[in-house]
């Protein structure tokens, strides 16, 4: 990979982060050696899991699935079971995986993010793992073809079949005009028929205003007016802030903006 491509990939990863599991099952293990040419040569081991025992193990009344997106921090493993249940693919990587490999993974995610969760899992060390309802793939480093094949084989194939439109990541909100000076408009589209909470946060991460919760059918566009004030009715001090959209209690996207 060239230096220019590496810089592009890392920049794309930073942009994705700014915007917004293996199941313990009885399994038939198939050890597959998947090799590529040149610098991509590596070994991946795929494990095909028996889905029947899993259906009895997952409590459908438990926690909601995580929003479909790329995360910068580790996530709750229990919630990923529900992403699998809905036919999603989860990709996790260890804390010793080189930054260039993470950037390549981010590029792969950005090209087709529907029904995908990407997140760190420190204990994986220098490995990457993709999991689905009935499969798991472990690799020494990122292999684009192996991960594309795994996605094609397992996405949309969980026990709970839901429309693919509901597996889309939530797009970041738009805010205009900018910079914000008093009244402004915030808009976003619901990716699924689920609630979205809208918050204004300071650069430190402190919530300065909660703008409410919104629900509706998938694809509904929400437009709301904000007066540029905090929760106590005070005008915000000049500086950098962000609009955060939360789904099922988790930040699903964010949009940075300036006041003043």
Looking at 163, 198, 232, which one is the last position of a domain? 163
Write down the pLDDT at residue 51: 52
Residues 20, 102, single domain; the answer is yes
Domain coverage including residue 45: 3-163
Q: List the chain pLDDT tens, one digit each, 260 residues.
A: 445 544 554 555 555 555 543 333 223 233 333 334 444 445 788 888 765 444 434 444 456 788 888 898 999 898 899 899 999 999 999 999 999 999 999 999 989 999 999 999 999 999 999 999 999 999 998 999 999 999 999 999 999 877 777 788 888 899 999 999 999 999 998 766 567 899 999 999 899 999 999 887 777 889 999 999 999 999 999 999 999 988 767 788 889 999 99
Write down the pLDDT at residue 160: 84
| Residue 155 near residue 149 (C-beta atoms within 8 A) | no
Residues 183, 86, single domain; the answer is no
Residues 146, 199, single domain; the answer is no
Q: How far is it, in rounded angstroms, from Cα 72 to Cα 223?
A: 28
Q: Is residue 30 helix, strand or coil?
A: strand
Residues 7, 135, single domain; the answer is yes
Write down the pLDDT at residue 39: 45
Kindly state the tokens that stand for 148: 């594309």
Write down the pLDDT at residue 74: 93
Residues 49, 154, single domain; the answer is yes
Nearest residue to 34 via CA among 20, 26, 45: 45
What total number of domains does the chain contain?
2
Residues 229, 255, single domain; the answer is yes
CATH number at residue 233: 2.60.40.4070
Residues 157, 176, single domain; the answer is no
Write down the pLDDT at residue 220: 83
Write down the pLDDT at residue 61: 46
Residues 178, 206, single domain; the answer is yes
Residues 158, 183, single domain; the answer is no
Write down the pLDDT at residue 140: 92
């Amino acid at each position: 990979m060239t230096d220019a491509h590496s810089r592009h990939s890392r920049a794309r990863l930073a942009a994705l982060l700014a915007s917004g599991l293996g199941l313990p099952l009885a399994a038939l293990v198939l050890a597959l050696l998947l090799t590529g040419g040149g610098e991509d040569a590596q070994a991946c081991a795929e494990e095909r899991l028996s889905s029947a025992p899993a259906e009895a193990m997952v409590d459908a009344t438990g926690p909601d699935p995580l929003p479909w997106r790329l995360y910068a921090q580790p996530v709750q493993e229990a919630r990923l079971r529900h992403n699998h249940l809905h036919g999603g693919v989860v990709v996790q990587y260890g804390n010793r995986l080189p930054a260039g490999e993470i950037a390549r993974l981010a590029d792969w995610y950005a090209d087709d993010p529907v029904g995908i969760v990407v997140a760190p899992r420190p204990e994986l060390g220098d490995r990457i793992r993709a999991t689905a309802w009935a499969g798991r793939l472990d690799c020494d480093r990122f292999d684009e073809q192996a991960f594309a094949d795994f996605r094609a084989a397992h996405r949309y194939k969980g026990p709970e079949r839901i429309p693919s439109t509901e597996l889309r990541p939530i797009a970041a909100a738009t805010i205009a005009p900018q910079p914000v000076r008093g009244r402004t408009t915030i808009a976003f589209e619901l990716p699924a028929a689920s609630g979205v909470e809208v918050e204004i946060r300071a650069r430190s991460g402190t919530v300065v205003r909660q703008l409410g919760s919104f629900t509706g059918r998938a694809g509904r566009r929400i437009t709301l007016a904000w007066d540029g004030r905090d929760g106590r009715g005070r005008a915000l001090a000049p500086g950098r802030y962000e609009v955060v959209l939360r789904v099922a209690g988790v930040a699903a996207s964010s949009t940075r903006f300036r006041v003043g």
